[in-house]
Amino acid sequence: MTEGLFGPPDGTPRLNAARPAPERAALLAWVYGLLRAEYGERPLIPRREPMHELVSTILSQRTTHQDEEAAYQELLTLGGWDDIIQAPTGAVAHAIRRSNYPESKAPRIQATLRAIREQRGGYDLDFLAELPVGDALKWLTDLPGVGVKTASLVLLFNYARPVFPVDTHVHRINTRVGTIPRMGEQAAHRALLGLLPPDPPHLYELHVNLLRHGQRVCTWTRPKCPACVLRDRCDAHALYGNNVPSFSEKPGKG
Ligand code: SF4
């Protein structure tokens, strides 16, 4: 175990996750700096159009990036968003079959598109840039197929709003390191945002570097701790050494 597990005054074991918020905020700032040194600076530039981001994020749940992109491209063969709303749900599910759970995602996508069209008269989401951030999050998460992760991704990536998307990688690494106690992905959005500066480029860079670290090093099963730059202050490594167990989490609304 590292010295970091033992805190004053009585020397009893004390995990990062049990520390006060300011200490965990400092730990998260340390994580940010090390991942930046490891993976480099990542400027906040939208990677795709807002509706593309929204629909692709729904498709991405429990799905590799390659399959998500294939599903999105085949979805577009059905036509525009209006055509996708009107298509038989089975045809939408077939088009997105490269994504996991196509039968549940197809009606979610159609319901989301329908709700956007009914409320906005089209599919332009740029009004979200002007809304107070809490109202923008609420508008998106009130859509039938959109959870807080998807909403946060669209608001941060496309509109540089100060929110912090928590995907499976962000959740897993922060839980293992102990910047947050064990909690679900949805609760982790609020918990982590409370530890971070309200600075969109910082939030974006931390998100994408955690994603990269989760794909390459702190993987769901058999994390590569000997190669990890975070191991000196990681709760899971302190407890389990180089045999950190597989991470368990429950699927939720993306
Ligand atoms: S030390 Fe291991 S468990 Fe901790 S963050 Fe690194 S890879 Fe993950």
Contacting residues for 159 by C-beta, under 8 A, at least 6 apart: 50, 126, 128, 129, 136
Q: What are the residue boundaries of the structural domains of the chain, listed by start?
A: 16-43+166-240, 50-159
Ligand 1 lined by 203 (C-beta under 6 Å): no
- Distance from the CA of 235 to the center of ligand 1, in angstroms? 8
Sign of CA dihedral 169, 199, 27, 184: negative
What is the model's pTM?
A: 0.88
Domains 16-43+166-240 and 50-159 fall in the same CATH topology = no
- Distance from the CA of 214 to the center of ligand 1, in angstroms? 9
Measure the CA–CA gap between 130 and 38, rounded to whole angstroms: 35
Return the best residue to mutate from 170, 213, 219, 234 for the ligand 1 pocket (most ligand atoms within 8 A of CB). Answer: 234
Peptide bond into 181 cis (omega under 30): no
Ligand 1 lined by 231 (C-beta under 6 Å): yes
pLDDT per residue, tens digit, the chain (254 aa), is: 333 444 445 555 579 999 999 999 999 999 999 999 999 988 998 889 999 999 999 999 888 889 999 999 999 999 999 999 999 999 999 999 999 999 999 999 999 999 999 999 999 999 999 999 999 999 999 999 899 999 999 999 999 999 999 999 999 999 999 999 999 988 999 999 999 999 999 999 999 999 999 999 999 999 999 999 999 999 999 999 999 999 976 544 44
- The yes/no answer on whether domain 16-43+166-240 falls in CATH 3.40.50.1820 is no
The class that CATH gives domain 50-159 is mainly alpha
Two tokens at 68?
A: 């998500």
- Distance from the CA of 102 to the center of ligand 1, in angstroms? 32
Q: Are 231 and 225 in contact (CB under 8 A)?
A: yes
- Distance from the CA of 226 to the center of ligand 1, in angstroms? 8
